[in-house]
Structure 1
Amino acid sequence: MANIKSAIKRVRVNEEHRLQNQSFKADMRSHIKKVEALVESKDVENAKAALQTAVKKIDKAVQKGLIHQNKGDRQKSRLAQQVNNLSA
């Protein structure tokens, strides 16, 4: 454990940020799974609505630096493709 006051604070702040990031990423994954479940049950209208919220969550995670830009784009693309194939 750190002895210096600033190092102690750094450890505390890093832990708080880690927990916030963990929570945000879990929320993002939940929204992605919700879209996939709606696609699986062939619910077009609710899948489109859930896709919009999932895209917002993914974009926010990219903006915060929690996931890489390319990963966010890939996830959005795959979800959109699933929803579009469902309605076609």
Structure 2
Amino acid sequence: MANTPGAKKAVRKIARRTEVNKSRRSRVRTYLRMFEEAISAGDAGKARAAFIEAQSEVMRAVSRGVIHKNTGSRKVSRLAAQLKKLSAA
């Protein structure tokens, strides 16, 4: 348990930051799900629009420090591969 005033303040800050990061992570997952739904529907135009939005959200999360840079790049790369596969079909 936190005893010093500084440690207690750190606990409060961590709790606030956790809430913010949780909401940002949820937002990213929402956009990823929208892309997955567009891919499964087979609509290339809708999937392309969803890809652009999902890519933007993932990179925004990377810049805010919610997810690691390499993780974001990997996710975007896999989304692009799915989109390319759909467009080729």
Amino acid at match of 1:74: R
Partner of 1:59: 59
**TM-score normalized by the length of structure 1:** 0.89
Gaps of 5+ in 2: none
Paired with 1:17 and 1:81, the residues of 2 have a C-alpha distance of: 33
The percentage of aligned residue pairs carrying the same residue is 36
Q: Is the partner of 2:36 in helix, strand or coil?
A: helix
Paired with 2:23 and 2:14, the residues of 1 have a C-alpha distance of: 14
- Off by >6 Å, runs of 4+ in structure 1: none
What are the residue-to-residue correspondences of 1:8-87 with 2, within 5 Å?
A: 8-87=8-87
Q: Is the partner of 2:70 in helix, strand or coil?
A: helix
Give aligned pairs, total.
88
Q: CA RMSD in A?
A: 1.2
In the TM superposition, residue 51 of structure 1 has moved relative to its aligned partner by 0.7
Gaps of 5+ in 1: none
**TM-score normalized by the length of structure 2:** 0.88
Paired with 2:40 and 2:20, the residues of 1 have a C-alpha distance of: 30
